Amino acid sequence: MTTVFPRATKLPLEDGVRDIIGKAQKGLGRALPPEPWTPESYRAIAAALRLGPGALLASANRSWYPPDPGPINGLLCFTTPFEDFTVNSYVVFDPVSKQAAAFDTGSNCSGMVGAGVRISQIFLTHTHADHIVALDELRIRTRARAYVSEREPLPEVESFKDGDVFSIGRLQVETRRTSGHARGGVTYVVTGLAKSLAIVGDAIFAGSMGGGLVNYAEALQTTRDNILGLADDTVICPGHGPLTTVGDEKRHNPFFT
């Protein structure tokens, strides 16, 4: 089943406070105070794990959720199930020409294929299984050319270098390195719509991040350099959970506050 969002039922945040703490603890190898945790404990944890204390406490209290950026003409968002969680994929199109590109595939591409636009390119944020399950099917059904970072090549998928630029009709797609969670992690910055987009894969989520499966410090640094340096109103399209913005993540993400 494919679900299109934004929608009346909000996508839950990808990570709770224990997920956030677990990713930071694994990345830094630090010990934690014994449970149960109090507000003072969360402040101590934040200091030990180099997390923003206010943002971490907000996560513990479940008191923050990113404001909906609203519909954006030229952006279609899809959520599909994978094992016991869900994964996001996106179609971005030029509203005038209807030329379109898919960003990741999720586990089911039927919604993307039926979106009423011509998908001629497929851009992969990284090659973890949940993001590319439907890649072969999407390529066959659209005859689109698929692209992936040269740092994480795939058979029969074209590789590109960091900084290469593509186009979708009148829209520009800039590639930025956001590795650390994945060796070939890429953020695609799309300009030319009413709002700029950053399609980030698992580099950053609303209120969290994918974690440093390859290198934790690298994941933090490349996200700071190549996502959080964008304009505050840039809409972040993550691989899991709801849409957010650069400004909201600078204020509310414990890893980056």
Summarize pLDDT for 84-116 with one digit per residue, the tens.
999 999 999 999 999 999 999 999 999 999 999
48 located within any domain: yes
Same domain, 153 and 34: no
- Can you spell out the DSSP letters for 34-53? PSSP-HHHHHHHHHHHT--H
Residue 254 scores a pLDDT above 70 = yes
What is the rounded average pLDDT of the residues 195-224? 97
Same domain, 209 and 160: yes
Same domain, 53 and 69: no
Torsion, Cα of 234, 151, 168, 109 (10° steps): -90
57 located within any domain: yes
Same domain, 72 and 178: yes
pTM score above 0.85: yes
112 located within any domain: yes
Same domain, 73 and 198: yes
Contact status, residue 104 vs residue 133, Cβ threshold 8 Å: no
Pairing of strands 145-149, 158-160: parallel
Structural domain span for residue 48: 17-61
For residue 225, give every residue at least 6 positions away whose Cβ sits within 8 Å of its Cβ, in sequence order, or none.
none
257 located within any domain: no
Same domain, 219 and 120: yes
69 located within any domain: yes
Query: 3-class SS at 160?
Result: strand
pLDDT in tens, 119-130: 999 999 999 999
Residue 8 scores a pLDDT above 90 = no
Which residues lie across from 89 on neighbouring strands?
A: 78
Same domain, 136 and 225: yes
What is the rounded average pLDDT of the residues 203-209? 98
Contact status, residue 18 vs residue 203, Cβ threshold 8 Å: no
Same domain, 234 and 113: yes
Query: How many domains is the chain partitioned into structurally?
Result: 2
Same domain, 37 and 103: no
Average pLDDT, the chain: 95
Residue 9 scores a pLDDT above 90 = no
